[in-house]
Amino acid sequence: MIEKIKELIEEVEQFKIDTKENAEQLRLKFLSKKGIIAEIFSEFKKVEPAQKKEYGQRINSLKQKVEEKLALAQEALEEKFQKQNDIDITLPGPNFGLGSHHPITMVTNEIISIFSKLGFTVAEGQEIEDDYHNFSALNFPPEHPARDMQDTFFIETNPDILLRTHTSGGQVRVMEKQKPPIRVLVPGRVFRNEAISARSHCIFHQIEGLYIDKKVSFADLKQTLMYFAKEFYGEKTEIRLRPSYFPFTEPSAEMDVSCSICGGKGCTICKNTGWLEVLGCGMVHPNVLKNCGIDPEEYSGFAFGMGIERTAMLRYGVTDIRMFFENDMKFLSRFKY
C-alpha cells in the first residue's frame, strides 16, 4: 500500500494543469469525498500497527502534494487570465444605464412636497388593519350600507382583521395619539376586492390629508386644495367642488380640476366635459372626532384623499392602470429624470 502511495505522488507531480477543467479533474480525483485520498484513509484501520506511522505520513504527503499542485496551478491560471484581459484603466468605463423612481413614487413624493409647504407632515399606517380603525371609528356602524361601498379583503380566520381599504385608518391612529393641531398626510398601499381592468385594480395607492384645529372651515379646505391643484396641475388650473357623500365627512365633496389636455374645451380624456375628477374631501364628521377623543365643540377639521394611480395616469397620459404593476422596463424607462 505504501508503494501505491509513492506511485500516486509521482502521478500528481507529473500531472499537467493548463486549464481550470484539468485542475478540477485533479481535485475530484484525489480530494473529493469519494476520491483516492478518502479511499486510502478508509484502509488505514487495516494497516499493521508498525506501519501506521509511515502510512499516515505518506498519506499526508500525498494530500499536501495535491493541494500544492492545485494552489500553484490556480495562481498560474489567474496570472494568465489577467495578461489576456489587461484593461487600460485610463479609458472611460462602460455607460451603465441608471435606474429611476417608479412613477407612483414620483407622484407621491411630489404631492408630499407640495403639502409639506403648508405644514403637513407624513405618517404611515398599517396595511393589515382591524375593523374598528378601518370602519367603525370612521362612522361606519355595523351593517351600515356605506360598508358596501368598499369590497373588502377580510382575514378568513378572523373577520375583525382585514387588508385596509383606505389609508384613513392611519389618520384615526394619529388622532388617537396626538392632540390638535394636527396636519398630516398618510400615503400608502390599499386593497379592494375588485376586478382588474384598465381602469381598476385590486391593489392601488392612496394619499390622504387631515387638518384638525380650532375654527377650521370649509373655506380653508377649498383654499388648500386650490393651492395643491395649481402647484401640481399648473397655474391656470381651475377647480370645482361637487356635493357628495362619505360617512366620515359632512359636508362632503368631490373635487374636479379643469382638463389640462384640452384647456377645459372638452376631449376624450375628460369625456368632453372639460373637467377631471381627482379627489374626495369634506369636513371631518363630529362622530369621527368623538371616536378619536377630540371634542367637536372645540375643534373642527377637514380631510381629503386621492388615488395615486389615477393622479399619475392624468399626469403622464397613461391609459391602463395595470402598467404600473407589470414592471415593464420599456414603460418605466419613460420616467427617468
- Note whether 164 and 132 are within 8 A (CB): no
Q: What is the CA radius of gyration of the chain?
A: 35
Largest CA distance in the chain: 106
How confident is the model at residue 136, as a pLDDT?
Answer: 93
How confident is the model at residue 216, as a pLDDT?
Answer: 96
Q: What Cα–Cα distance (Å) separates residue 286 from each residue in 27, 168, 289?
A: 79, 15, 5
Residues 39 and 162 placed together within one structural domain of the fold = no
Residues 226 and 328 placed together within one structural domain of the fold = yes
Where would I find the H helices in the chain? 2-14, 20-31, 36-42, 52-84, 103-116, 131-134, 168-177, 218-233, 286-291, 308-316, 329-332
How confident is the model at residue 54, as a pLDDT?
Answer: 73
Residues with Cβ within 8 Å of residue 120, at least 6 apart in sequence: 112, 183, 184, 185, 209, 211
DSSP state of 131: H
- Note whether 212 and 234 are within 8 A (CB): no
Residues 51 and 166 placed together within one structural domain of the fold = no
How confident is the model at residue 66, as a pLDDT?
Answer: 78
Residues 244 and 280 placed together within one structural domain of the fold = yes
How confident is the model at residue 65, as a pLDDT?
Answer: 79
Residues with Cβ within 8 Å of residue 125, at least 6 apart in sequence: 164, 167, 169, 170, 171, 173, 186, 188
Region for 218 from its dihedrals, namely left if φ exceeds 0, alpha if ψ lies in -120 to 50, beta otherwise: alpha
How confident is the model at residue 156, as a pLDDT?
Answer: 80
Q: If we measure between CA atoms, which residue out of 249, 223, 247 comes closest to residue 304? A: 249
The half-sphere exposure of 322 on its side-chain side, counting CA atoms within 13 A, is 4
> Three-state DSSP class for 188?
strand
84, 113, 131: which is the final residue of a domain? 84
Identify whether 92 is part of a domain: no
* φ and ψ of 96, to 5 deg: -80, 135
Residues with Cβ within 8 Å of residue 227, at least 6 apart in sequence: 114, 118
Q: If we measure between CA atoms, which residue out of 137, 140, 187 comes closest to residue 166? A: 187
How confident is the model at residue 55, as a pLDDT?
Answer: 67
How confident is the model at residue 297, as a pLDDT?
Answer: 95
How confident is the model at residue 324, as a pLDDT?
Answer: 93
- In 10 A of CB 175, how many CB atoms? 24
How confident is the model at residue 126, as a pLDDT?
Answer: 94
Residues 175 and 318 placed together within one structural domain of the fold = yes
Q: What is the pLDDT along the chain (337 residues), one digit of tens a residue?
A: 666 767 777 777 777 777 778 778 777 777 787 777 777 777 766 667 776 677 677 777 877 877 887 787 777 777 776 666 666 677 777 777 777 889 999 999 999 999 999 999 999 999 999 999 999 999 988 877 666 666 888 888 888 899 999 999 999 999 999 999 999 999 999 999 888 888 889 999 999 999 999 999 999 999 999 999 999 988 989 999 999 999 999 999 999 998 876 767 777 767 778 888 899 999 999 999 999 999 999 999 999 999 999 899 888 888 889 999 998 888 888 887 5
38, 55, 84: which is the final residue of a domain? 84
The CATH number that applies at residue 129 is 3.30.930.10
Domain of residue 11: give its range: 2-84
Residue with cell 381651475: 238
How confident is the model at residue 85, as a pLDDT?
Answer: 60
84, 115, 133: which is the final residue of a domain? 84
Identify whether 314 is part of a domain: yes
How confident is the model at residue 273, as a pLDDT?
Answer: 83
- Give how many domains the chain has, as a whole number: 2
Where would I find the H helices in 103-252? 103-116, 131-134, 168-177, 218-233
